[in-house]
Amino acid sequence: MTKLKGNLVVGQSGGPTAVINHSVCGVVQEAMHYGEIHEIYGMHHGIQGFLQDDLFDLRKETPAIIEGLRRTPSAALGSCRYKLQKGDIEKILHLCQAYNIRYFLYAGGGDTMDTVHQLSQAAAGHNYEIRCVGVPKTIDNDLGVTDHCPGFGSAARFEVVTCMEIVRDTLALRYTETVKILETMGRNTGWLTASTALAGDYAPDLIYLPERAFDLDRFVGDVERVYRLKGNVVIAACENLKYANGAYVAINEDALNVDAFGHPEPGGIGHFLTNLVIKELRLKTRYEKPGTMQRCSGRNVSPVDSQEAYQVGKDAVSWAVQGHHGFMVTLERQTDAPYRCTTGMAPLEQVANVEKGMPEAYIHPDGTFVTDDFLAFARPLIGQDLPDYITLAGYPVEKPRIRSRP
């Protein structure tokens, strides 16, 4: 195959994560190895900045700065949430031609993959040779085809450590802070909320996922039952719980809280459920909402997540130079124990705007916890060496189990 010579551009889109910069580092460092790739540009604030002709010259950065991306959370290039408008694809294609961009790499979730897919199709229609590649990123873990998504493992680790601490706090103040609710991110899927179960003995008592319809009366009954058994209750609830009719339990849907893709701004489930428990059960209740720290905190980066995020960036470039295009890099699990994962490719049309929820096999039959299968899936992704918190040997005295837990 004839070598395609020209410039490369890379961008970041959607909510920043703890490891999306690791992918950019992989892209840049790998691109440096190929004579076919001349200039290496970074989009300043993703495709929205690119449309404004706003680019970084990444070759001007020192090797130390590029390597430093692997220990830096959030999106160093700047991110965006931008839905393509009429005429945008033509303008993007024109800019690619003007800058002689032949390698277009964009890191993000399902909406981002749609942007890459549209550009790939438009370029083909105009006979402009450009290799468009999607680099997966989302804490929601909801991209199709890939086993899991870079960003998820670190966010899940954050949730696990948070629960290890929140549950200890609740036990310490069990007579004054009876019910504690943790509001997690995740949009329309429960992957991140479910990861709180990896806290083991310090996991929440009840976990509520968007994959199961939410019922107010059943929720109140669940809380009351656990309280009578234990004397205190810790709950993890996903931000976008829905009723059986599809309506959100709590959501911000005003004009300022709907993004460019029409997604309503999640938020408020913790406050809503807290008020519900206080009203119905007269139990002192408070909620915790870590907010954006869940997705971009650099304090609990999973080593596994870090390496995989870096690898998908490297392989995106390597395969593009080899002649592949119109694909997203995937993670393909080989074994759970020992954990081994390789990378692969999925056509963009299979992942663009696709949302993958948790399978039934991962959800406990009672709908308020997870199964052994989920724990086996998620445990390797958060990495080893969680905080070594102690528990006094004589405490707690064995009490009735809430359910037959995995």
Catalytically active residues are 140
Helix axes 110-125, 88-98, angle to 10 degrees: 70
For the chain, the first-to-last Cα distance in angstroms comes to 52
Cα–Cα distance list, 51 to 42, 81, 93 (Å): 13, 13, 10
Alpha-carbon distance of 89 to 284, in angstroms, equals 54
Polymer length in residues for the chain: 406
DSSP string, 143-209: -SSSSS-TTHHHHHHHHHHHHHHHHHHHHHTTTT--EEEEEE--TT--HHHHGGGGGGGGS-SEEE-
Question: What six digits make up the tokens of 303?
Answer: 């080593």
How many beta carbons lie within 10 A of that of residue 322, not counting itself? 11
User: 242, exposed or middle or buried, with CB in 10 Å at 0-12, 13-18, 19+?
Assistant: middle
Give the residue carrying structure tokens 């179960």: 197
Phi then psi for residue 324, to 5 deg, are: -80, 150
For residue 288, give every residue at least 6 positions away whose Cβ sits within 8 Å of its Cβ, in sequence order, or none. Answer: 162, 166, 180, 181, 182, 183, 270
Three-state SS annotation for 310-360: HHHHHHHHHHHHHCCCCEEEEEEEEEECCEEEEEEEEEHHHCCCCCCCCCH
Contact assessment for residue 5 and residue 101, using Cβ atoms and an 8 Å cutoff:
no
Question: What six digits make up the tokens of 342?
Answer: 């390789």
For residue 23, give every residue at least 6 positions away whose Cβ sits within 8 Å of its Cβ, in sequence order, or none. Answer: 107, 135, 137, 150, 309, 310, 312, 313, 316
Give the residue carrying structure tokens 């954006």: 292
